[in-house]
Amino acid sequence: MYKWFWMYFIFAALLTACATAPNISPSSTLTPLQAQGAKAFTFHCAACHAIVPDTVVVGPSLTGIATRAITRVDGQSAQDYLTMSILKPDAYIVEGFPNSMPNNFGKRLSGEDVEAVIAYLLTLE
């Protein structure tokens, strides 16, 4: 009986190993600054913003934000729009969402982290 248990256990372990074989992560194609931004995003932003289309956690999904950001305010670059949205989030409220984003990211994040998050967000086309 124990023989069958161990054979089943080994078989299950092999199936699990095959099913979870590592795949290439999108982060492997990011620059070091973008990868730093992805980590900062995960820590500071992902609790409220999804990066999956049509998924609302608290704030809007940021899928495609690199493309949308350039169209949000006439004459403003995507980078400037994202910077303002992070540092002064009440400046631009996305229609249908409350003004609930914390306005202290300028104190919580270093300038380099803000730059890194923006670099990462600009990869979300």
Domain membership of residue 45 (yes or no) is yes
Domain membership of residue 108 (yes or no) is yes
Domain membership of residue 70 (yes or no) is yes
Residue 29 · residue 112 · CB < 8 Å: no
Portion of the chain with pLDDT greater than 70, in percent:
78
Segment 91-120, tens digit of pLDDT: 999 999 999 999 999 899 999 999 999 999
Domain membership of residue 21 (yes or no) is no
Please report, for the domain that includes residue 54, its CATH number. Answer: 1.10.760.10
Domain that includes residue 105, residue range: 34-121
- Average pLDDT for 80-95: 95
Segment 5-59, tens digit of pLDDT: 333 333 333 333 333 333 324 445 999 999 999 999 999 999 999 999 999 999 9
Tokens of 14: 């092999």
For the chain, what is the domain count?
Answer: 1
Domain membership of residue 8 (yes or no) is no
- Average pLDDT for 79-102: 94
Domain membership of residue 60 (yes or no) is yes
Q: Look at residue 71 in the predicted model and tell me its pLDDT.
A: 95
Q: Look at residue 28 in the predicted model and tell me its pLDDT.
A: 59
Q: Look at residue 22 in the predicted model and tell me its pLDDT.
A: 30
